[in-house]
Amino acid sequence: MTRSVGGPAVKVRFALPAEELRPFVTTYYRTEVQCSANEPWLEDYLHPEWPNLRFLAEGWSEAAIGPGALEPVPAFSVSGPTSYASRFRIGSGSSWGIGLMPLGWATFVDAQAGDYADQAVDGGADQAFAAFHPLAHALQASGGDANAELELIESHMAELVGKMAKNADQITAINTALVDPEIATVADFAERVSMNVRSLERLCNRAFGFTPKLLLRRQRFLRSLAQFMLDPSLNWLSTLDHHYHDQAHFVRDFKRFMGMAPSFYSKLEKPLLIAAARARMEIAGEAVQGLHDPEASE
């Protein structure tokens, strides 16, 4: 099932994975951009999210996580879990993306998520992502037909489901607790998943990339940001998560995660992100990847 939302410049198409893959994968998504001589690229900011695999079939893109300088994006790029905004520019062309749940990273990637947190790498040159190298080659050799390429992706991902990560049940329990808006403290978090804090920290580094405290802070922020992305006409006060003490508390978090004040962000054009948020909401029920519930399909 797919949905498409966009205008003359950008089109974003989302597809849900098969039922058995939903604990591992959030969505598959195809982005098509058409620029002009007067505006040779689109520029936007991506909020913090879980890991993503991106396959650039044609065109070009540059990106940076946090305040760094823009760097060329390779044909097969991997971004680990992020706690900073990613700035990017993209020219005319198309690309595919695969959003990984934390259990997907722990199952398919031979590396600690914490070692790739807030980083983007060339997936084709890194053996940690060897499971996806055949898919990258197949997409590069494909004829560009979107439906055929989606079939390639679905077939490849289905072949990877044979193994299960160590501590899979605990990883799912942690992820489920993170999307519960009532979990506000690390103590509550550890109690919910029946783990001591030190064990929780180790497993969060393995599969989620960050400390439990930062993960809870990020989720609180994403819940507020998602409301604004779905309806930019709202003022920030009406989007605030109930765990924020006041607007100043939210502004501090916004600057930490997005690198700018919310007032500045609200004035930016968001040619790709608003389209993506609405398309994702239609197909998956959440506007941002970090809010996907790993047990929603059960």
Identify the CATH number of the domain in which residue 279 sits.
Answer: 1.10.10.60
Residue 16 covered by a domain: yes
Q: Do 96 and 128 belong to one domain? A: yes
Q: Do 137 and 207 belong to one domain? A: no
Q: Do 182 and 64 belong to one domain? A: no
Domain boundary among 162, 185, 206: 162
Q: Do 132 and 215 belong to one domain? A: no
Q: Which structural domain range is residue 231 located in? A: 168-291
pLDDT at 298: 43
Residue 274 covered by a domain: yes
Cα–Cα distance for residue pair 271/224, rounded to 1 Å: 20
What is the DSSP track for 127-142?
GGGGGGHHHHHHHHHS
Domain boundary among 134, 162, 190: 162
Residue 95 covered by a domain: yes
The H helix count followed by the E strand count for the chain is 10, 11
What is the DSSP track for 89-142?
EE-SEEEEEEEEPHHHHHHH-SS-GGGGTT-EEEGGG-GGGGGGHHHHHHHHHS
Contact 250, 261 (CB under 8 A): no
Structure-block tokens of residue 214: 């930062």
Q: Do 50 and 195 belong to one domain? A: no
Q: Do 6 and 130 belong to one domain? A: yes
Residue 207 covered by a domain: yes
Q: Do 141 and 184 belong to one domain? A: no
Q: Do 260 and 130 belong to one domain? A: no
Q: Do 249 and 285 belong to one domain? A: yes
Domain of 106, CATH number, reads: 2.60.120.10
Instruction: Encode the chain (298 residues) as per-residue pLDDT tens digits.
Output: 444 455 447 889 999 999 999 999 999 999 999 988 888 999 999 999 999 999 998 889 999 999 989 999 999 999 999 999 999 999 999 999 999 999 999 999 999 999 999 999 999 999 999 999 999 999 999 988 999 999 999 999 999 987 778 899 999 999 999 999 999 999 999 999 999 999 999 999 999 999 999 999 999 999 888 888 777 777 777 778 888 888 899 999 999 999 999 999 989 988 888 888 888 888 888 889 999 998 874 4
* Structural domain count of the chain: 2
Query: CA torsion 57→31→226→297, rounded to 10°?
Result: -80
Q: Do 229 and 90 belong to one domain? A: no
